[in-house]
Each structure stands twice: as structure tokens, then as C-alpha cells.
Amino acid sequence: MKRIKFTALALMLLAGRAYAQDPARGTSQPTQETIVDTLRLTLPQVVSMAREQSIAAKQAVTLKENRYWLFRTYQSNYKPQLVLDGRLPAYSKTYQEILQPNGTIDFQPVRNNNSSLNLSLEQSIAQTGGKIFGTTLLQRFDDFDRKNTLYNGVPYAVGYSQPLFMFNTLKWDRRIEPLKYNESRQEFIESMEQIAIRASAYFFDLLLAQVNLQISETNFNNTTNILRIANEKHELGKVSRNEILQLQLELLKSRKSVASAKRDMEIAILNLKAYVGLKGDEKVSLDLPGGANHFSVSADRVLAEAFANRSDAIAFERKIIEAKRDVAKARGDNSLNATLTARLGFSNSALNLPGVYKSPKDQQLIQLVFDIPILDWGRSRSRLKTAEANQKFVQYAVEQDQQVFRQEIFTQVTLFDMMQDQLTLTAQADSIASEKYQIAKERYVLGHLSITDLSIAFQEKDQAKRDYIYALRDLWGAYYQLRYLSLYDFEKNEKIIYK
């Protein structure tokens, strides 16, 4: 009767299924029971959800919108500006000093209204930094003490104002601001790829926790069954008491491992759901991804795409131009600063409003306003030399950043190739360790293997499974990092674009 019972337990143990065979790669992978209210997700789904609804994605979209409107503000500086300004009303009741014929001053009460409206149309000229303008002005003065009303106005006038020997902001902004905008657009794409990298990390954190739980539960069930068989063999005198105690200790460790794995998985689920924006109470179960499609890329190709697409490549050019702009500004502010203004038009004054526009008189204005630094104790020279030194520093810094940029590309390409090979090796090791454990388990049941050797097979099988998950995580991390560094999809052979 004992022998029949022992044989039945052995058959139960050998029939126990810890892993399901994956026909795609010929290695074992965890089985997943169908659970009600469980959301099953793949790696592409998790990445897609993170890009669409995570807080990080919303922040990236908001920043992109902010940069767009900043660029629109810059563009408006080169378009005509229609401005209405004035004082309406401009009532005043006070005492003012009045110079008397004998040279003394007397304070007389004054009560008047001096209102004005001015409508002007301006157009900046980026090439010269000058400005063309047209204007019309109307002014009304009411003297309430003397009951007198006067009108003054400029029906229309046109003019041109030209800074001389001064720094031209519009000219430099036209070179820099488009670069900033293009840089911000590429930064948005980089943000989306960084979200993919982060989402992938959370995915594999949960996947590893999920696999650890499955391993722990399987080990607990197997240890329980082995302990039952060992007890039967102990009754037959084929197993020592020390071996029974060792199995009982292994059972306690397995139970503790299951509890710890459940806790780690719940934490990983919360972290993943918080990042990708899942708000439901359903549980999450992940499907084991395959390896990234095997493809090889040359470092030169990745480097070429990186310089064509990355925001850093645009920033290299922008920083050098900004340094040149600062030198030009320091040089312009330290020399002769002058503004030449010319205006032609008509003006008139009258006792009533229609009279202002009746037979207006010619109006001409030409003036040169200048500012020449004569003695500033070397301040102008110091500013210029500081700007020139900063320009050299920026050039060296950009050269250093370019070297780091290139080195990062070469390193990542090498790492990606290594990770593809590493995944193949760990898959083989996983398959071998699983088969070795199965043989060890059968030999222990038949009494041809010690509990120590069985425990070693246990550990090797579990570590091989974890190593395979680690290799998957490293490969997919390297894959998304390669996309981020180049902003290019080498599988589809196209640039990465997000609308």
C-alpha cells in the first residue's frame, strides 16, 4: 500500500507543470491563468499607453505648445504693428507756477482737459534694424476756466527711423529663433522616446516580479510534493531525518519567497499603473515579449541620423551663433550709438474738429540722436573682451559635447549588438537549466540524486529564468535607447515623427 501511495505521489510530481513550452524559442516560459478583471498587456501596448496618457506625455505636449507660441511671438516682430495709444480723458485741476513780467512766480489755478489719440502703423526692417511708420494724431485741449477749446492734429505722416552703428536684434533673432523652435520640436520627439524607455523599465520591473512570483509558487508546490515523497521514502527507510529537515526548511523558504514575491508584484503594478496613467482597480498581467527584431546598424549610420535629427545637434549650431551674437552686441553697445529719424506729413490746429483737416500745413522732421562713450574707464573694452572669451569657451564646450555625443552613439550601437547576442545565449541557458532541473527532479524521486544536488538544480533553473528576463530588459532598453539617440526607426527605415 505504501509503495502504491509513493508511486502516485511521484506521478503527481512528474506531471506537475511549472512552465509551458514556448515554441517560438524552444525555452520554457511562465504560464498565466486566466483571471477575471485582469488586464493583459504587451510591451508595445504599455509604451503606447504611456505616450498617450501619462503625466510625462502631457507635460511634453504642454511644453511643445508653449514653445510654439513663443515662436509665433517671435514671428510677429516682423509683421506690421497697428497701435492705438492716447490719453482720454486727461482732466487736471491744480495750481501751476506762472512766470510774471517782473520775473517773479505766481501760482494760478488751472483746470483743463488735454486729451489725445495717436494711431500708428509700424513695420520693422530686419536687414537694417530700422522701422518704417505711418501715424495720425488728434489732440483736444479744453480750458474750463476761460471756456476755450482748441484742436491740434496730424492728419497723416510717414517716416523712417534707422539706428546707426547699433546692435541689430531682429537680424540675429532671425538666425537664432528658428533654430530654437526646431530644437524644441526635436526635444518633443526625444521626450516621447524617453517615455518609452521609462515605460519599458516599469514593464520589465513588473514582468520580473510576475516571473518571480510564478517561480516561487512553482517551487513551493514542487517542494511540497517532494517533501511528501520524501516522507514516504523515510517511512521505508530510504531517506534520512536530516534530509527531511532540509526539505522542511526549503518549504519554509519557498513560502516566505511567495509572500515576498506577491508584495513586490503589487508594488510593481502600482508603479506601472501610476506612470502609464491607468486608473482602474483591475489587476495587470504582462505577456512575455520576444526579442527585438534582429537587425544590425552601423555606428556611422546612427551617427548621421543623430546629427540630422537630434535637438543636441541643433543646439551645437545655436550655441555658437548665440556666442557670436553676444560679441556683436558688446561691440555695438560700446561704440557710437545713433538713431536717425526722418518724418514727413501734415499738421494743423483749429477751434473745431473739422478745421484740423482743412488745409493742413506741411510738417517735416529730421533728427539725429547719438551717444558716444568718451571715458568709461575700460568698461566697454572689458565687456567686449568678456564676450570674445565666452565665444571661445562656447566653441570648446561644443567641441567637447560633440565628442561625447559621438562616443555615446558608438557605445550604444556596440551595446545593442551585444545585447542581441546575450539574449540568444541566455535563452539557451534557460532551456538547458530547465531540462537539467527536470532530470534532477526525476532522479531524486528514483533515489539516484541527493537533496543538495536537487537544490542546486532548483537554483540554477530559477537563476536562468531570471537571467533571460534581465537579458530581455537589457535588449529592449538598448533598442529604445538607440531610437532615442538617433530619432530614427531602423526597423521601418524612417524618421520618428509625432504629431
What mean pLDDT do residues 77-96 have? Answer: 92
Count of helices and strands (H, E) across the chain: 10, 13
Residues 6+ apart with CB under 8 A from 246: 451, 455
The number of angstroms, rounded, from the C-alpha of 288 to the middle of its chain's C-alpha atoms is: 28
Residue 327 within any structural domain of the chain: no
- pLDDT, one tens digit per residue, over 198-232 is 999 999 999 999 999 988 888 888 888 878 877 87
378 lies in a domain?
Answer: no
Q: Is residue 224 domain-shared with residue 254, that is, in the same domain? A: yes
CA 321, distance to chain mean position in Å, is 24
CB 135 within 8 A of CB 118: yes
Pick from 403, 454, 394, 476: nearest CA to 226: 454
Please indicate, yes or no, if residue 449 is contained in any of the structural domains. Answer: yes
Considering the domain architecture, whether residues 245 and 311 belong to the same structural domain is answered as yes
pLDDT digits over 265-319, tens only? 999 999 999 999 988 788 888 998 887 666 778 899 999 999 999 999 999 999 9
Cell 570674445 belongs to residue: 388
Cα separation, 318 vs 183, whole angstroms: 9
For residue 447, the SS3 value is coil
For residue 62, what is its C-alpha cell? Answer: 504642454
CATH code for position 438: 1.20.1600.10
In a domain, 75, yes or no: no
User: Beta strand 494-495 with 488-489: parallel, antiparallel or unpaired?
Assistant: antiparallel
Q: Are residues 263 and 207 in the same domain?
A: yes
Angle among Cα 104, 107, 111 to the nearest 5 degrees reads 145
Domain identity same for 441 and 358: no
Kindly state whether residues 420 and 348 are assigned to the same domain. no
Clarify whether residues 225 and 346 are in a common domain.
no
Considering the domain architecture, whether residues 302 and 423 belong to the same structural domain is answered as yes
- pLDDT value at residue 292: 65
Question: Which residues 6+ apart lie within 8 Å of 371 measured at CB?
Answer: 336, 337, 338
pLDDT at 191: 96
Residue 237 shares a structural domain with residue 296: yes
Mean pLDDT across 177-188: 96
Do 56 and 107 lie in one domain? The reply is no
Q: What is the DSSP letter of 289?
A: P
Distant-in-sequence, close-in-space partners of 39: CB < 8 Å, separation ≥ 6: 278, 280, 282, 283, 284, 285
For the record, the C-alpha cell of 114 comes out as: 488735454
How many structural domains comprise the chain?
Answer: 2
Please give the average per-residue pLDDT across 175-179, as a whole number: 96
Asked if the model's pLDDT at residue 471 lies above 60, the reply is yes
Same domain flag for 445 and 359 = no
Name the burial class of residue 244, with classes exposed (0-12), middle (13-18) and buried (19+) by CB atoms within 10 angstroms of its CB.
middle
Domain that holds residue 446: 2-70+175-318+395-495
Q: Is residue 216 part of a domain?
A: yes
Question: Would you say residue 206 lies in a domain?
Answer: yes
111 inside domain: yes
d(CA 188, CA 195): 11
Task: Confirm whether 377 is domain-assigned.
Answer: no
Residues 200 and 286 in one domain: yes
Give Cβ neighbours of residue 28 (< 8 Å, ≥ 6 apart): 18, 19, 20, 21, 22, 430, 431, 434, 465
Query: Same domain for 97 and 212?
Result: no
Q: Express each pLDDT in 332-379 by its tens digit.
A: 887 788 999 999 999 999 988 888 889 899 999 999 998 888 887 888
Q: Is residue 130 predicted with pLDDT exceeding 90? A: yes
What is the pLDDT at residue 463?
87
